[in-house]
Structure 1
Amino acid sequence: MPRSIWKGAISFGLITIPIKVYGATETKDLSFRQVHPEDGGRIKYKRVCEVCGKEIPYTEIAKGYETGDGRLVILDSEDFENLPLASSKAVEVVQFVKTDDIDPTYFERTYFLEADGPGAKPYVLLRRALAEEGKAAVVKVALRSRESLALIRAKDDLLLMHTMLWPDELRDGEFAAPGDDIKVSDAEVQMARMFIDQLSGEFDPSQFTDSYREALEAVVQAKLAGQPVPTESDEAPKEAEVVDLVAALRASVEAAKKRREEAAKAG
């Protein structure tokens, strides 16, 4: 069982729900070390002070904040632990919203919330109320040395908490939008909708795998076994020049239909 990363309480009106917070996700990737290719020796880095030239142990390193005019403020662990934040000990519900009203761009990380001690009954109460109303709770919480907006929602038997970015942390993507002079016809939209319909279905994440990680693992295993490293064709894919969008989409729809039929026969 994983260890909780935070303990506190959800403030739900006059009701307090003691909780423990657990990370809900983990990154699956191959871990690499920096090495000297001639002898396989690991590359190590020293933490050296630029003023005195001494190597500084990690436990003696503090965090410094440099102001715009070059002044340096040094903060220690107690400064972070004793911040005057109500959200450092409690998660206060400040608003209830429809989950669909939140732009997914805001979501950062996901956590499991577990009822702690006498928090089981009010936990179930909040979970059921959110599920029946189809809403989620907007809260503020301090995790990992920073305060975040977060969204608490019901999923099956659990309450999940999604930390969110602050509005000023989202970049303006207007620069990436095509100009207003780009137009598409109704026929092109209709064919695009047909293609979308052919590939529509219930989302099943178990049907997808990390091909990049699998390919890396295959290369590692081949090297361990002294076998030739598997490779793909060196020929780069050719960029197709799309002249007739309707014709291209019609061909895409037919290809999608064929793949579905073949998959149905195989199943």
Structure 2
Amino acid sequence: MRSIWKGSIAFGLVNVPIKVYAATETHDVSLHQVHDEDKGRIRYKRVCEFGHEVEYADIQRAYDDGDKTVVLTADDFKQLPEEQSHEIEVLEFVPVDQVDPMMFEKSYYLEPDSRSPKAYVLLRETLTKTDRLAIVQFTLRQKTRLGVLRVHDDVILLQGLLWGDEVRAADFTALDAAVKVSANELKMSSSLVDSMSTDFDPDRYTDAYQVELQQLIDAKLESGDDIDTEQTFGERADDDDDEGGDVIDLMAALRASVDKKRSGSGGAGSRSRRGSRSTKQESTADASQKRTPATKAPAKKAPAEKAPAKKTPTKKAPAKKTPAKKAPAKPAAGKQAS
């Protein structure tokens, strides 16, 4: 595995250097869309409702309350508190059974990143011995997040948590009706559970759909029911999807976290407020980093504008009689287009 971020855990007065790794991955077969008629790949463009194609650098975010729309510029976002430190701050420790698994989100492995992993082991053993979870704050994609630290197979695991108001209450009128369950029905049901009880082993279960999908793809390849991938590419510019920026953000999930710098013995709430105030001074540097994807988008257009220029050497090819040297130019153009 490749680490996606380096930082530290602020555990009281103890600083625990760590490396962060994505703990999960998808096994889904990657598919894309093609035009049924000519098998050309489907591409998406950013088009505003007035019919103009828009560059990524010219896109701003807005909020619509139903009647009015508020446009938020990059300068507006600079005014918001945003953390710059690569620290995960431990706020408190709570019993394991008090955190509902329903609140768990994406998971990350934390590896010790120092010559002596003693501080890491100390935190790991403390969590194990006390049977508690460490409630932490960190920043994910410029938003303050809640999470927990827990031990999994002798490794400290960071798991994101939903905020309390993000979990819906279960309110179903059908459950209000009084239903009587007899003792015999409950006994038979319990007996069935006992007969099916075992220890959980995730390796016993497979995703039959993905397995059969891959078998179907392999069978079509073996039978020759396929087309050359280059035939699905038309005249197009380099991909400039929003998804690319999101992946970068998703792979840098812990790029920022709550500032641990605090004075005195203030509580978690006061520490968070101080962190918010202190990070306003750091927002300018981060704002320039956020603009990086935006400035890269126009840069990708440069190869697209130069593409027609490459046709001139192609016309001279017959005179030079050197198709072997010019041959790579066509795949390069295809690669550029992809």
- The aligned counterpart of 2:38 is 39
Q: Provide Cα deviations, 1:60-95, integer angstroms capped at 9, x if missing partner.
A: 154413152524233439947x85245864222112
Q: 1:154 aligns with which of 151, 154, 163?
A: 151
- C-alpha spacing 1:20/1:144, structure 2 compared with 1 (3 Å): farther
Deviation of 1:33 after TM superposition, in Å, equals 1.0
Q: Is 1:103 aligned with 2:100? A: yes
Q: Is 1:170 aligned with 2:156? A: no
Q: Is 1:57 aligned with 2:63? A: no
CA contact (8 A) 1:18 1:118 kept: no
CA contact (8 A) 1:63 1:74 kept: yes
- C-alpha spacing 1:87/1:173, structure 2 compared with 1 (3 Å): farther
Q: Is 1:220 aligned with 2:217? A: yes
CA contact (8 A) 1:62 1:76 kept: no
CA contact (8 A) 1:149 1:165 kept: yes
Counterpart Cα distance in 2 of 1:77 and 1:202: 55
- The aligned counterpart of 1:16 is 15
Deviation of 1:47 after TM superposition, in Å, equals 1.2
More strand by share: 1
**What count of residue pairs does the alignment treat as equivalent?**
224
Note the residue ranges of structure 2 that are not aligned, 5 or more in a row. 226-338
- The aligned counterpart of 1:135 is 132
Q: Is 1:208 aligned with 2:202? A: no
Report the 3-state secondary structure (helix = DSSP H, G, I; strand = E; otherwise coil) of the residue aligned with 2:211.
helix
Question: Which residue identity does 1:16 align to in structure 2?
Answer: N
- C-alpha spacing 1:118/1:155, structure 2 compared with 1 (3 Å): same
Counterpart Cα distance in 2 of 1:87 and 1:192: 55
Report the 3-state secondary structure (helix = DSSP H, G, I; strand = E; otherwise coil) of the residue aligned with 1:178.
helix
Question: Which residue identity does 1:136 align to in structure 2?
Answer: L
Deviation of 1:17 after TM superposition, in Å, equals 1.4
- C-alpha spacing 1:132/1:33, structure 2 compared with 1 (3 Å): same
CA contact (8 A) 1:23 1:111 kept: yes
Deviation of 1:57 after TM superposition, in Å, equals 3.2
- The aligned counterpart of 2:141 is 144
Note the residue ranges of structure 1 that are not aligned, 5 or more in a row. 229-267
Deviation of 1:139 after TM superposition, in Å, equals 0.8
CA contact (8 A) 1:88 1:142 kept: no
CA contact (8 A) 1:111 1:162 kept: yes
Report the 3-state secondary structure (helix = DSSP H, G, I; strand = E; otherwise coil) of the residue aligned with 1:117.
coil
Deviation of 1:36 after TM superposition, in Å, equals 0.9
- The aligned counterpart of 1:73 is 71
- The aligned counterpart of 1:194 is 191
Deviation of 1:215 after TM superposition, in Å, equals 1.9
Counterpart Cα distance in 2 of 1:49 and 1:55: 7
- C-alpha spacing 1:76/1:8, structure 2 compared with 1 (3 Å): farther
Q: 1:185 aligns with which of 168, 177, 182?
A: 182
Q: How high is the TM-score relative to the length of structure 1?
A: 0.74
Give percent identity, aligned residues only.
42
CA contact (8 A) 2:104 2:159 kept: yes
Counterpart Cα distance in 2 of 1:116 and 1:36: 49
Deviation of 1:182 after TM superposition, in Å, equals 2.0
Counterpart Cα distance in 2 of 1:147 and 1:49: 31
CA contact (8 A) 1:62 1:75 kept: no
Q: Provide Cα deviations, 1:159-182, integer angstroms capped at 9, x if missing partner.
A: 001101111111122227633322
Q: Is 1:112 aligned with 2:109? A: yes
Between 62-71 and 97-106, report the one with greater CA deviation. Answer: 62-71
- C-alpha spacing 1:160/1:78, structure 2 compared with 1 (3 Å): farther
Counterpart Cα distance in 2 of 1:18 and 1:171: 36
CA contact (8 A) 1:11 1:90 kept: yes
Counterpart Cα distance in 2 of 1:21 and 1:175: 41
- C-alpha spacing 1:142/1:173, structure 2 compared with 1 (3 Å): same
Q: Provide Cα deviations, 1:202-247, integer angstroms capped at 9, x if missing partner.
A: 111111100111121222223333499xxxxxxxxxxxxxxxxxxx
- C-alpha spacing 1:204/1:70, structure 2 compared with 1 (3 Å): same
Question: Which residue identity does 1:57 align to in structure 2?
Answer: E
Question: Which residue identity does 2:137 align to in structure 1?
Answer: K
Counterpart Cα distance in 2 of 1:71 and 1:78: 15
- The aligned counterpart of 2:3 is 3
